[in-house]
Structure 1
Amino acid sequence: MSLFSKDPLQIIVFNSYGSDTHFYVRGRALQDENINLEKNNIFSLFVNTWKRFESDEVRNTALTIQLPNNHKIETKTDNKGYFEVSETLNNLTSLTDTEGWLNFEISFTDTNINRKITKNNRFLGKMLIPKLTVDYGIISDIDDTILHTGVISRMKWRVLINTFFVSPLKRKALVGAAEFYNLLHLGKSGKNANPLFYVSHSPWNLYRYLDFFLEKNNFTEGAVLLRTAGSLFKKKTIEEKPQKQNEIRNILNTYNDLKFILIGDAGEHDADIYMEITKNYPNKIKAIYLRSVLHSKKMERIKLLIENYNDTEFFIVDSSKEAIEHAKKHHFIA
């Protein structure tokens, strides 16, 4: 954190998930760079991108979380401004709303911190606790599954352009994707609150960008799970699994009695990840939906990969309309 910067301080809480007895939350304390996500001129977009990745973190600083029942939890940021809380508590479900969200407040513990604080030192956080009455959970990739990204483009140049030089207001959701997810959220009764979990290889620096995109395109609110920017360049060992795969495993381990629908695309490695997860968690995955991509070699690889696959229902769909029709046929949605 720069000694000479005048920017106020803020706490960003990432939408997370937990259970009746497990309070689990992540976030980051940063200087408030006043990023306006609605600006769309090239200069503003470049400046906003610079601010996201050259962020000034608030390091090794005490924070206090207050739950609706006035229970307080103390935590502390690390040397990159991140914090993670994992506490065993009781009866958290009683604190949730009708959609299963537990709303809480977080603040800088030291009210005399030598800096102006945004929002009068009260920052809101949310944690998802699925109701016992839900039909299933939905775990979805983001890039090129619901958001046009360009991960299959040559040298990934479209990813860079879309991320750095396109406002989230201008980013395009795949046609009908929000409708499909909202129907899955409502489930086979049309009245449920099936939980959504959005996973991506994108860094946490893009959390607000992606959260803004999801809200503006009317996607059902859910936990958003990204990764630290440092892990983007970390060389993995042969045994080490991708961060997205680890996040999915953590979700499955959290909800032992809940089955899931996995949604991804054929552009990268979603099929491989989902098939391995299904093998390791038998009878936990109701179905896998994979969006087709305009890349003949990738599509041929996927078709060969699942040619004799029968661990769970596996469907390659060309559109959200096709996915909706299939989900109705199999009574996943009303």
Structure 2
Amino acid sequence: MKDRNFNDMGIFKKDKLQIINFQSYGSATRLYVRGRAIEDENIDLDQKGIFNLMKNTWKRFETDEIKNAPIKITFSNGETVEGVTDNDGYYLIDENIAGLQNLANEEGWVKFELSFGNTKLKREILLQNRFPGEMLIPGDNAKFGVISDIDDTILHTGVVSSLKWKVIINTMFKRATKRSQLEGASDFYTKLHMGKSGDEANPIFYVSHSPWNLYRYLELFLKTNNFPKGPVLLRSMASFKMRKKSDEKPQKQKEISNLLTAYPELPFILIGDSGEKDGDIYQEISTLFPGRIKAIYLRSVNHSKRMARIENLFADFKDIPFLMVNKTEEAIEHAKKNGFI
């Protein structure tokens, strides 16, 4: 990544500036907004051809971040909130603001606009310095939330392949609009979102170990395959390089804990796969938050040793409904019997 300061951006001929908002979540009194300010690389996620796919993959990871940039959020009622990007161009605005639920639509989404706070920039800015953003506030009708992994849970990825070569090939050489979902996954998630009554609007949160650089790629995959709209929670590239402490929890577990803490009255269903650490994380979450997990679903993967480990891990797990999912129909039937859909 290029080391560029916000104040000297006019020295070179550069791309226009943009602000990307990562769909996040909040409450009636909490604003929790994430995103990143970077240069526009003109990435076309649906562009065809191997060369174009490789070029766009390079652009997604070779980002030119806008450091220490003041930004502003403007709501539909005219109220504004200010923030600033960090040294990697990311921003996180976490503030207590009353009345946010009055700005939400029937699905709980609060729309707003983002803009660069410095209007005297020596750089061109996309979209007349007006960038769309959204934040989800679960409604009163919601009976539970769903926290789902992405890779090999709803998206064919190959995380259990040797040296992760399938992950690399799928990401570099396949367009988001051509990636395959696991059979019936979007139908199952839509049923969970609607709930038993059909109008619960249960929130769906997508959590992955993938970097934020893949946010728009994954967002397009979810939209193309008709998954319910929901916050997509990833991690920064910097976290891949950091040496973790022996007792430090995975980023995915931290995000899940944050969600359960954010909504103390809302129970959750956890969905993942048996290829990585989802089983371990979900078990620990259920212990840390007793009475909050309604069910755990883990997708089966084509790896005998990992499957055997998960079966052994959950052999004595009796307090929370658990299902190893071979086919989505099994999960749908299980959810019906337990009154989720």
Q: TM-score, normalised to structure 2's length? A: 0.96
Q: What are the ranges of 5 or more consecutive residues in structure 2 without an aligned counterpart?
A: none
Counterpart amino acid of residue 154 in structure 1: S
1:20-68 alpha-carbon deviations (Å, 9 max, x no partner)? 1110001000101010000131111111111111100111111110112
- The residue that corresponds to 1:71 in the other structure is 79
* Identical-pair percentage: 56
1:275-286 aligned at under 5 Å gives the runs: 275-286=283-294
Question: Separation in 2 of the partners of 1:50 and 1:71?
Answer: 38
CA contact (8 A) 2:151 2:159 kept: yes
Counterpart amino acid of residue 318 in structure 1: N
CA contact (8 A) 1:11 1:29 kept: yes
2:195 to 180, 187, 210: 187
Aligned length: 333
1:93-104 aligned at under 5 Å gives the runs: 93-104=101-112
1:218-266 alpha-carbon deviations (Å, 9 max, x no partner)? 0000011000001112221111000000000000000000000000000
1:201-220 aligned at under 5 Å gives the runs: 201-220=209-228
CA contact (8 A) 2:141 2:199 kept: no
SS at match of 1:93: helix
- The residue that corresponds to 1:157 in the other structure is 165
**Shift of residue 124, structure 1, vs aligned partner:** 0.6
Question: Separation in 1 of the partners of 2:236 and 2:23?
Answer: 15
Q: TM-score, normalised to structure 1's length? A: 0.98
RMSD: 1.0
- The residue that corresponds to 1:306 in the other structure is 314
- Tell me if 1:176 matches 2:189: no
- The residue that corresponds to 1:141 in the other structure is 149
Question: Separation in 2 of the partners of 1:326 and 1:312?
Answer: 13
- The residue that corresponds to 2:239 in the other structure is 231
- The residue that corresponds to 1:259 in the other structure is 267
Question: Separation in 2 of the partners of 1:311 and 1:152?
Answer: 29
Question: Separation in 1 of the partners of 2:331 and 2:69?
Answer: 46
- The residue that corresponds to 1:26 in the other structure is 34
Question: Separation in 1 of the partners of 2:67 and 2:55?
Answer: 23
- The residue that corresponds to 2:301 in the other structure is 293
1:272 to 272, 276, 280: 280
CA contact (8 A) 2:215 2:234 kept: yes
Question: Separation in 1 of the partners of 2:262 and 2:136?
Answer: 12
Q: What are the ranges of 5 or more consecutive residues in structure 1 without an aligned counterpart?
A: none
Question: Separation in 1 of the partners of 2:203 and 2:13?
Answer: 40
